Amino acid sequence: MTSVLLIYPYFKPRWDRSVFRFPPLGVAYIASSLRKGGHEVHLLDCTFLSRKEALKRALDVQAPVVGVYSMATMVDDCLWFGRELRAASRLLIAGGPHPSWDPSPFMNVFDVVVRGEGEQTVLELLQAFEHGGTFQSVPGIAYREDRSTRQVNLPEWSCTEARGTIQNLDAIPFPARDLLPNQDYIRHGRKKDGYSITTVLSTRGCPFRCEFCSNVVFGGSYRERSVENVIDEVEEALAFGYDRISFADDVFTLRKTRVLKICEEIRRRALIFSWECLGRVDALDEETAREMKRSGCRRIYFGIESGNAQILEQMNKKITAEQARAAVMAAHRAGLEVGAFFILFYPGETNATVTETLRFAASLPVDYLGLSMPYPLPGTALFERIKNRITRDWKPGGRFLFSHELTYQSDFSEIKMQFGIFKGQMHLALKRKTGSLSPILLKIFDKTTDVIFDLLK
């Protein structure tokens, strides 16, 4: 048995305004697989900690094996933990989306990078580690050729063959939620929104290939868990005291028959709880929306991204604005709250296409509107298309009043992007607050902001 410390290195930025704050399922899944394999596991979620306190807790564990998660916004903190814990550990492992896409920056500090799904990989890694063997027979990793010196410089490293995805998702133990700071998440949620929320992942992957979306961990696959297995986990998650479940699937509504079976199973077990999910606009009708509502669904989010046909085609979304409107209206008529995400100022856009998207978004009966500028994430087709124009890494939180930062050379200035996002959000806020005066005030607001928008470069 080996003692393992897993770290989720997310520190809330000073100007954090995100409405989404969920416990990290990825590291919790790795933790449960390690425990099933007989290892002692510690999990450090840094979401509610300072860097000083997080490092102290990590050092106090004195684990010989340390694994640190990383996505694009966590690279610096992941590397920081690696450098700080290097002398106190015997094996340092990095994993997550960014290391899966490009292990090279992590090999300066870490001994091994897990690429893709990690549940089986980490078990085989620890087996090799405990027996003093090499890692070259472990699929799905990048590793240092020589770990004996433990020097922090660019070592020689190699990649083993890719590991296939896990086909039987029901065989994976539920995430080790007992290792997470659940009470912190519950207090945060109830203070901020009036309810606490945690996630359940009922499928893995997505069969679509949107240009801006990263699929590096799940390898572009799509796999489903059984309905019974999913609802068993829902019951376990609710037992920790959460009020609401967010199904974190990329495409929860992809198959209507499966969605209806999940709704039926919730009602069969007489479970009373609220839930939400992310759906595709070409995979929801009013009948399904009404069944979702009956089983406790409160809100559905759609990734619409644009109201312009050419930009949707550029994004490879495989949807139309007409489908988006139909899905939003179906959910709205069924009594569901609706959230919609749009990406403004996508590479290839013009003033006219951005304005078209803003007006399309404003015409929908949505309860939440997520507007963002594009982020060319490593491992995406968008990144490959504009990688020569990228000027800096994406950092979480933005600056002061703004939640987003421009990370590449765009045809639009960052100020114009920020103003476009502000314009869209303010339109929705005015629409909600002005009641019967809304059409007049909105017309004045739109005409005024349209002039400013056109003047900005």
What is the per-residue pLDDT for 104?
Answer: 92
Task: At 199, list the tokens.
Answer: 């996630």
pTM of the predicted model as reported, rounded to 2 decimal places? 0.93
Read out DSSP for 210-276?
A: -TT---TTTTT-EEE--HHHHHHHHHHHHTTT-SEEEE--TTTTS-HHHHHHHHHHHHHTT---EEE
Read out DSSP for 112-127?
A: EEE-S--HHHHHHHHH
CB 413 within 8 A of CB 456: yes
What is the per-residue pLDDT for 433?
Answer: 80
CB 361 within 8 A of CB 307: yes
Chunk the chain into consecutive blocks of 10 residues (it has 457) and report each block's average pLDDT, rounded to whole numbers: 96 71 95 97 97 98 97 94 96 96 92 96 96 91 74 73 95 98 96 95 95 87 96 98 97 97 98 97 97 98 98 98 98 98 98 97 95 92 94 70 81 96 92 75 89 93
Q: List Cβ neighbours of 435 (8 Å cut-off, separation of 6 or more).
A: none
Q: Which residues are registered as beta bridge partners of 360?
A: none
Encoded amino acid at 298, one letter = R
Domains annotated for the chain, with CATH where assigned, are 3-159 (3.40.50.280), 195-455 (3.20.20.70)
Nearest to 278 by CA among 20, 2, 14: 20
What is the per-residue pLDDT for 140?
Answer: 96
Place of tokens 């978004």: 361
What is the per-residue pLDDT for 441?
Answer: 85
Between CA 141 and CA 93 the distance in angstroms is: 10
Q: List Cβ neighbours of 104 (8 Å cut-off, separation of 6 or more).
A: none
Encoded amino acid at 178, one letter = D
Nearest to 243 by CA among 203, 288, 290, 194: 194
Between CA 203 and CA 433 the distance in angstroms is: 38
Between CA 278 and CA 290 the distance in angstroms is: 16
What DSSP designation does 306 have?
-
